[in-house]
Amino acid sequence: MRGEEGEEVCLPAISTVWECAYINYKDVNGKEGWECQWCGLSFKPRHATRAMRHVLKMKGGDIAICKAVISARYRNRYQALYDRQYARIDSKRKSDETISDSVTVQQEAAVKSLLDTRKQPGVSGLRKSSHSFPTPPEAVLCPTR
């Protein structure tokens, strides 16, 4: 598709590969699957990541690459979607790592504090609570009759 002055017009962004007219849901041998309208191959099960890898011609991922010639506009559209999805995944992974690192630092500080307390002479490492109960008196035996 070309604009008024011959420049190529970009396609609108998609939020899932299934929004593209060239990737369609289809029953394959009685099971939920999908079909690539570019090359005509059908796959099962429905798997958005595999569909994306197929049209981006990315090897691996347990999917055959698309043998059709995909126009640059569509390739750019798929690549933009792929980049957005993996940026989100990468951001979540980094956030999870930050939280994990924070917990590790807090745990190490708590252990160090406990060990430092136990190393001090005269300190058992256990502190008495202000709510301690008195020690029960020695058991008094009642004379038997």
pLDDT means per 10 residues in the chain (145 residues)? 59 93 94 96 95 94 94 94 84 77 83 80 54 54 58
Q: Tell me the C-alpha distance between 82 and 54, whole Å.
A: 12
Query: Which domain range does residue 78 map to?
Result: 17-102
- Predicted local distance difference test score (pLDDT) of residue 103: 80
Q: Estimate the crossing angle of helix 72-119 against helix 48-55, to 10 degrees.
A: 130
Please tell me the total count of domains within the chain: 1
Is pTM beyond 0.75? Reply is: no
Side-chain-facing half-sphere of 113: CA atoms under 13 Å: 7
Instruction: Evaluate whether residue 114 is within a structural domain.
Output: no
Q: Mapping DSSP to helix (H, G, I), strand (E, B) and coil, where does residue 117 land?
A: helix
- Going by the DSSP 8-state scheme, the letter that residue 41 receives in this structure is -
Instruction: Evaluate whether residue 125 is within a structural domain.
Output: no
Instruction: Evaluate whether residue 91 is within a structural domain.
Output: yes
Find residue 24's DSSP bridge partners: 35
